[in-house]
Amino acid sequence: MTGAGSKERAARYPSCVMRPAGQVVKMPARAMDLCEFVTPASDLFVVAHLGTAHVALADWTLAVEGLVETPLRLAREEVLAMPATEVTAVIECAGNPFRPTHPVRRAGNVVWRGVPIRSLLDRAGMRAGARYVWFEGQDSGTYGGAFTAAYVKDIPLDKAMAGDVLLAWAINGEPLTAEHGFPFRVIVPGYYGTNSVKWVSRITVSDRRPEGLFTTQLYYEQAAGCSEHRPVWELPPTSLIVSPADGARLSGLRHRVAGWAWGGTEIAGLEISDDGGRSWRAATVAPRKQWAWQRFVFEWKAAGPGVHTLTSRAADAKGETQPLDGARNRVHSIGVTVAV
């Protein structure tokens, strides 16, 4: 899949045009702009390692193959004719895979529409030994100095069969743009964005994980204090203070602190600290709908005028909390100036 030899530099989908070629990262909205429950598509971040793929529709097919009873080749119309469903889910970028402990806080919450991956797999039928599902995008190019013929990610079969993992074609009721994966992308709710493969046109069922730059080299990490490597799959608990805005000048001592919290497991509690993490007080957290982010609200009374740091820390229903440091999901802090 990677390598410097000229033969290996051929894209697997030559009809797919990479424009621009090379990494694309866009973050149109700051945290303070993410005030709506559903993020408008125009505020959604964009990440592509190899560039923006422009998929040729003339010869487009979806292949479903590997450890299946009946390999499928579906035309775009056949996919669009299958029963579709909507899932509201957060998409969050894990950030630069070469800096796995650095938070980038690129996230949005949108309504995805598509056909459940489960429906496709049921149609093909699983064979014995099936354990992982690989998704292959049509994009190719160079990332981190290595050539990749097609972007490939995998998830466990059990996750793929959950019914809310989608082959999606719409965001908030609008067709996907090229940047977000037109004509079809995978959405894996509750997993980091890197797994939600854009421009997908091959689904492979396998008994093993695929070897590759984005599967067994990058996004394959050692958990703290643990020798075992794990893929960057499930979202740990995370939160984002949206209001007040970072750097805001506030008048009066009483202010409402609000934002979003989410993770692969429902958020059960959120705490705010205004003293650098020495003491914490509970905010109110809304229950989760599907895989959406959850709103938190905290009525804050500043100890006095001056500069304050406000920090949010989410805990999920399994009891996992955001670390204070050393991880991409570390607590979020903002600074505000209070005048009376």
Ligand X SMILES: Nc1nc2c(c(=O)[nH]1)N[C@H]1C(S)=C(S)[C@@H](COP(=O)(O)O)O[C@H]1N2
By CB under 6 A, name the binding residues for ligand X.
Answer: 44-50, 91, 93, 137, 139, 151, 180, 193-194, 196-199
The enclosing H or E element of 251 equals strand 249-251
Q: Which does 48 bind (CB under 5 to 8 A by kind): ligand X, Mo ion, none?
A: ligand X
As beta bridge partners, residue 317 has none
For the chain, the residue count is: 340
As beta bridge partners, residue 154 has 134
Q: Which is nearer to ligand X, 192 or 298 (CB)?
A: 192
Q: Which does 46 bind (CB under 5 to 8 A by kind): Mo ion, ligand X, none?
A: ligand X
Q: Which does 105 bind (CB under 5 to 8 A by kind): ligand X, Mo ion, none?
A: none
Contact call for residue 186 and Mo ion (CB under 5 A):
no
Contact call for residue 11 and Mo ion (CB under 5 A):
no
Q: Which does 91 bind (CB under 5 to 8 A by kind): ligand X, Mo ion, none?
A: ligand X
Contact call for residue 93 and Mo ion (CB under 5 A):
yes
CB 229 within 8 A of CB 322: no
**Using CB under 5 A, which of the segments 188-196, 199-207, 229-237, 245-253 binds Mo ion?**
188-196
> Which of 275, 277, 274, 271 has the alpha carbon at shortest distance from 259?
271
For residue 309, the 8-state DSSP code is E
| Residues near 299 by beta carbon (within 8 Å), at least 6 away in sequence | 254, 256, 257
Q: Which is nearer to Mo ion, 47 or 272 (CB)?
A: 47
The residue whose two tokens read 């070897």 is 211
Q: Which is nearer to ligand X, 142 or 290 (CB)?
A: 142
Binding mask 40-79 for Mo ion (x = CB under 5 A): -------x--------------------------------
The residue whose two tokens read 């894209």 is 11
As beta bridge partners, residue 306 has 338
Residue 66 Cβ vs ligand X, minimum distance, rounded to whole Å: 19
The residue whose two tokens read 């046109």 is 201
Q: Is the peptide bond before 183 cis (omega within 30 degrees of 0)?
A: yes
Footprint on this chain of Mo ion (rule: CB under 5 A): 47, 93, 193-194
